[in-house]
Amino acid sequence: MNASALDFAQTRFVLPPDAKVLPVAELSARARTRIGALADDQSVVTRHGFRVTARLIPPPLAELLGEFRTPSRITDGVLRFALARGQDPQALLDAAFDALATMVEGRFLVPEDASDAAAPGASLAAGQEFAGFEIEAAVRSLDDSEVFRARAPDGKAVALKIAREGRPEVHAILAHEAQVLQRLGGRDSPVLYALGTHAGCDFLAMEWCSGVSIGVAAQTRRAAGDRPGLHALVVRLLLAYGRLHGCGVLHGDIHPGNCVVRDDGRVVILDFGHARAISSAPAGIDLARTGISQFHDPQMARALLDGAVTPAATPASEQYAIAALAYLLLTGLHPIDAPAIRDELLARIATRPPLPFAARGVPAWPAVEQVLRRAMSHEPEQRFTNVGAMARAFAAADTFSLGRRSLPPSPFTRAFNAAVGDVRRVAPMRRFRRDQTWFALRAALALGDAELLAAADLLAARTGHGWGACTVAAKVAQARSNIRAEGGAITSFLAATETLAGGPPLAQALLAASRILEGTSPRCIESERLAAWGARCVDRLLPDDRHRACAQPPAEPLYLLAALALARTGRVPTPRPLASRVEALARTGRGGVWLWALAHDVFASDRFRTLALSTTLPPAPLMRSFALLRRYQLTGEPRLLLAARRATRADAPGLPDGATALLAAELLAPETALPPPFRSIFGVPVRWAPMPRHAVASIAAAIPGTT
Amino acid sequence: MSRAALEMVARDEPSEPVRVARWLYRYGSLPRTAAHERDFGPDDEPLAVLGLSGGGAVRRRLEAAYEASSLPGWYSFTRVGQPMQRVAACKLYVSPVPEALPDAFAPIVDALIAADVRSFKVGRGIEGLLRPDKLVAYFDDPDQMPRAVQALKRRLRGCPAQGVPFTADAGCDGLLSSGVDPPPGGAAASWRAWITARLADSLVAKRCRAPPDTVAAVLGDLRAAGIDTERWQAQAATSTRPAPPP
ipTM: 0.92
Residue A3 pLDDT: 47
A570 contacts: CB under 8 Å, gap ≥ 6:
A32, A33, A34, A36, A37, A339
User: From the centroid of its chain, how far is CA A393?
Assistant: 27
The average pLDDT across A471-491 equals 95
pLDDT tens string A199-242: 888 999 999 998 899 999 999 999 999 999 999 999 999 999 99
Residue A298 pLDDT: 95
Looking at beta carbons, which residues of chain B come within 8 Å of A449? 31
Residue A462: band (very low, low, confident or very high) from pLDDT cuts 50, 70, 90: confident
Residue A478 pLDDT: 95
Contact of B105 with B141, CB cutoff 8 Å:
no
The average pLDDT across A438-444 equals 96
Residue B176 phi, psi (nearest 5): -120, 135
Residue A386 has pLDDT above 50, yes or no: yes
* Residue A558 to residue A507: CA distance in whole angstroms: 6
Which of B12, B38, B53 lies at the smallest CB-CB distance from A216?
Answer: B53
Contact of A209 with A201, CB cutoff 8 Å:
no
pLDDT tens string A522-576: 788 899 999 999 999 998 888 766 555 556 777 888 999 999 999 999 888 888 8
Residue A470 pLDDT: 95
Which of B9, B26, B38 lies at the smallest CB-CB distance from A332?
Answer: B38
Bin A389: left if φ > 0, else alpha if -120 < ψ < 50, else beta: alpha
* Residue A584 to residue A601: CA distance in whole angstroms: 18
Residue A707 pLDDT: 30
Looking at beta carbons, which residues of chain A come within 8 Å of B49? 219-220, 223
Residue B85 pLDDT: 59
Higher pLDDT, A91 or B244: A91
* Residue A614 to residue A593: CA distance in whole angstroms: 8
The average pLDDT across A40-47 equals 77
Which of B28, B31, B54 lies at the smallest CB-CB distance from A448?
Answer: B31
pLDDT in tens, chain B (246 residues): 888 999 998 888 778 899 999 999 999 999 999 999 999 988 888 989 998 887 788 888 888 889 888 888 899 999 887 776 567 778 999 999 999 999 999 999 999 999 889 899 999 999 999 999 999 999 888 888 999 999 999 999 999 999 999 999 988 788 999 988 887 777 767 889 989 999 999 999 887 777 788 889 999 988 888 888 888 887 776 666 667 777
Query: Is A425's Cβ below 8 Å from some Cβ in B?
Result: yes
Residue A62 pLDDT: 87
In B, minimum Cα distance to A215 occurs at: B48
User: From the centroid of its chain, how far is CA A137?
Assistant: 33
A30 and B42 in contact by Cβ < 8 A? yes
B26 and A482 in contact by Cβ < 8 A? yes
The CA dihedral of B94, B98, B103, B109, to the nearest 10 degrees, is: 30
* Residue B57 to residue B62: CA distance in whole angstroms: 9
Q: What is the mean pLDDT of chain A?
A: 86
Residue A684 pLDDT: 86
Lowest mean pLDDT among A20-29, A378-387, B121-130: A20-29
A478 and B12 in contact by Cβ < 8 A? no
Q: Which residues does residue A490 pair with via DSSP β-bridges, in sequence order? A: none
Residue A320 has pLDDT above 80, yes or no: yes
B42 and A522 in contact by Cβ < 8 A? yes
Q: Each residue of A391-415: b (16+ CB within 10 Å) or e?
A: bbbbbebebeeeeeeeeeeeebeeb
Choose the mutation target among A140, A209, A262, A453 for the interface with B, i.e. most B CBs under 10 Å.
A453
Residue A37: band (very low, low, confident or very high) from pLDDT cuts 50, 70, 90: low
Query: Is A524's Cβ below 8 Å from some Cβ in B?
Result: no
Q: Identify the H or E element spanning A62.
A: helix A59-66
Residue A278 phi, psi (nearest 5): -60, -40
Give contacts of A 206-225 with B, CB under 8 A.
Answer: 210-213, 216, 219-225
Looking at beta carbons, which residues of chain B come within 8 Å of A259? none
Query: Is A478's Cβ below 8 Å from some Cβ in B?
Result: yes
Higher pLDDT, A294 or A26: A294
Residue B65 pLDDT: 87
Higher pLDDT, A540 or A400: A540
Residue A38 pLDDT: 59
Residue A471: band (very low, low, confident or very high) from pLDDT cuts 50, 70, 90: very high
A220 and B48 in contact by Cβ < 8 A? yes
A104 contacts: CB under 8 Å, gap ≥ 6:
A1, A3, A6, A8, A13, A110
**β-pair type (B233-234, B135-139):** unpaired
Looking at beta carbons, which residues of chain A come within 8 Å of B23? 454, 457-458
The average pLDDT across A472-495 equals 95
In A, minimum Cα distance to B104 occurs at: A224
- State the nearest Cα–Cα gap between A651 and chain B, in angstroms: 32
Residue A476: band (very low, low, confident or very high) from pLDDT cuts 50, 70, 90: very high
The average pLDDT across A492-505 equals 90
Amino acid of residue A175: A
Residue A114 phi, psi (nearest 5): -70, 155
Which of B30, B60, B126 lies at the smallest CB-CB distance from A450?
Answer: B30
A219 and B39 in contact by Cβ < 8 A? yes
Residue B180 phi, psi (nearest 5): -130, 125
A426 and B11 in contact by Cβ < 8 A? yes
Percent of chain A with pLDDT over 90: 46
Residue A554 pLDDT: 78
The average pLDDT across A78-91 equals 87
* Residue A524 to residue A484: CA distance in whole angstroms: 8
The average pLDDT across A174-183 equals 93
pLDDT tens string A335-377: 988 776 788 889 999 999 999 999 999 999 999 999 999 999 9
Residue A51 pLDDT: 60
Residue A2: band (very low, low, confident or very high) from pLDDT cuts 50, 70, 90: very low
The average pLDDT across A490-516 equals 92
Residue A705 pLDDT: 35
The average pLDDT across A43-52 equals 71
Give pairs for A285-290: CB < 8 Å, separation 24+. A285/A309, A285/A310, A285/A311, A285/A312, A286/A310, A286/A311, A286/A312, A286/A313, A289/A252, A289/A313, A290/A252, A290/A253
Chain B residues bordering chain A (beta-carbon distance below 8 Å)? 4-5, 8-9, 11-12, 19, 23, 26-35, 38-42, 45-46, 48-49, 51, 53-57, 60, 98-103, 126-127, 130, 132, 162
- State the nearest Cα–Cα gap between A17 and chain B, in angstroms: 28
> Quick one: CA dihedral A452, A457, A461, A466, positive or negative?
positive
Residue A1: band (very low, low, confident or very high) from pLDDT cuts 50, 70, 90: very low
Which of A331, A480, A672 lies at the smallest CB-CB distance from B26?
Answer: A480
Which of A224, A362, A479 lies at the smallest CB-CB distance from B102?
Answer: A224
Q: What's the predicted TM-score (pTM) here?
A: 0.86
- State the nearest Cα–Cα gap between B142 and chain A, in angstroms: 31
- State the nearest Cα–Cα gap between B214 and chain A, in angstroms: 15
A76 contacts: CB under 8 Å, gap ≥ 6:
none
In the three-class reduction of DSSP (H, G, I as helix; E, B as strand; rest coil), residue B129 is classed as: helix
- State the nearest Cα–Cα gap between B59 and chain A, in angstroms: 11
Percent of chain A with pLDDT over 70: 89
B30 and A453 in contact by Cβ < 8 A? yes
